[in-house]
Amino acid sequence: MITSTKENSKHSPILSVQHLKKYFPIRNTFLKRRVGWLKAVDGVSFDIFPGELMGLVGESGCGKSTLGKTILGMYKPNEGKILFKDKDIIKLSIDEKRKMRRKIQYVYQDAAASLDSWWSVGRLLREPLVIHTKMTRTDMDDKVLYLLNAVGLRCEDLYRYPHEFSGGQQRRLGLARILTLNPELIIFDEPTAGLDVSVQAKILKLLITLKEEFQLTYIVISHNLSVVRMICNRMAVMYLGKIMEISTTETIFNKPVHPYTKTLIESIPQIGERKKHDNLFLKGEPPSPENMPPGCRFQSRCSFKKDICEKIEPSLQEVETGHLVACNL
């Protein structure tokens, strides 16, 4: 199993994903039967340790959001295991899954869509406590006020409605609602998408503050490599349902090995600097996940393709401690 550092290897992971697969059936509308599979997540394995900030990056359609939702339980996997604190989430009963989901929360890209526009902030924040706890109304109100203060909102905001807040404030409100049930692992899907740069910086700073205050573990799904580099201590690069490279953030940015990782990093805008590798570029569009190419699934777009790449699909191999790469070269 994939670990992050020598220090982490001494401790048990809070989350262990093992050979996870999530396929969606492709059906013929005329014959009304399955004619193939769309392989959104195809054999993904990794560990996350308590207190880590794990980044998950890749192009649109690579499967990173599907992976996050499968971990949460929104999708039922076709194969593999999802161990949260050594308990296989997939095998839990419905009641056990409901209790487990209090500890794993998902923050959607569109914060406003997850907030009922007809409910006041006070009601939105109290609802999880009413459903999942036996707290008194006074204790609920105290906790709601504490969480509002923790995310940088005011007590007067209790009587406002979600549409009255700006995009950044809606993100803060969503965070307060997530924190009501004391989660241990939070999955963020594009936490800064659609926000101004100045607001992005404030939200990222808030995420770090909340992580320390509430002792949280994060998975950050993002297209923005700069965001991942800023807050994550480890990251994984996904392409067409598989992890291509995984290591500490510092290692991947300073010593990327996989051609796809190198291309992603080279694509980050840099003012006044020449690109290190002019021959790194992506040719064409990603292959359809309905019809994967033989061998390495990146080979049709790789500038360094060899004959072996068309025949053998590489598995993750450790090139140095904690740094794994899936590449035949």
DSSP calls for 215-263: T-EEEEE-S-HHHHHHH-SEEEEEETTEEEEEEEHHHHHHS--SHHHHH
Contact 235, 249 (CB under 8 A): yes
What is the structure's pLDDT at 30?
77
Whole-angstrom Cα distance, residue 221 to residue 65? 7
Contact 69, 101 (CB under 8 A): no
* Backbone dihedral angles phi then psi of residue 221, each to the nearest 5 degrees: -95, 125
Q: Residue 272 above 70 pLDDT?
A: no
The candidate with the shortest Cα–Cα distance to 228, out of 215, 238, 213, is 238
Report which secondary-structure segment, H or E, holds 202.
helix 197-214
Buried (b) or exposed (e) across 48-78, using 16+ Cβ within 10 A? bbbebbbbbbbeebbbbbbbbbbbbbebebb
Measured in whole angstroms, how far is the alpha carbon of residue 94 from the centre of its chain? 24
Query: Scanning the structure block, which residue is given the tokens 């969503």?
Result: 174
Q: Which residues pair with 112 in a beta bridge?
A: none
Report which secondary-structure segment, H or E, holds 197.
helix 197-214
Mean per-residue pLDDT, 245-271: 89
Q: Residue 144 above 90 pLDDT?
A: yes
Q: For residue 9, what are the CA distances in angstroms to 1, 47, 84, 222, 304? A: 10, 10, 16, 26, 34
Q: Residue 40 above 80 pLDDT?
A: yes
Mean per-residue pLDDT, 12-28: 92
Residue 279: pLDDT band by 50, 70, 90 thresholds? Answer: low
Query: Scanning the structure block, which residue is given the tokens 């907030």?
Result: 115
Of the CA atoms within 13 Å of residue 214, those in its CB half-sphere come to 25
Q: List pLDDT tens digits, range 42-72.
A: 999 999 999 999 999 998 888 999 999 999 9
* Number of Cβ atoms within 10 Å of the Cβ of 29: 5
User: pTM above 0.85?
Assistant: yes
Q: List pLDDT tens digits, range 163-180.
A: 999 888 999 999 999 999
Q: How many residues does the chain have?
A: 329
Whole-angstrom Cα distance, residue 93 to residue 100? 10
Domains, the chain, ordered by start: 8-103+183-325 (3.40.50.300)
Nearby residues of 188 by Cβ (< 8 Å), 6 or more positions away: 107, 207, 218, 219, 220, 221, 222
What is the structure's pLDDT at 278?
52
For the chain, give the mean pLDDT. 87
Taking the CA atoms of the chain, what radius of gyration do you get in angstroms? Answer: 21
Whole-angstrom Cα distance, residue 105 to residue 107? 7
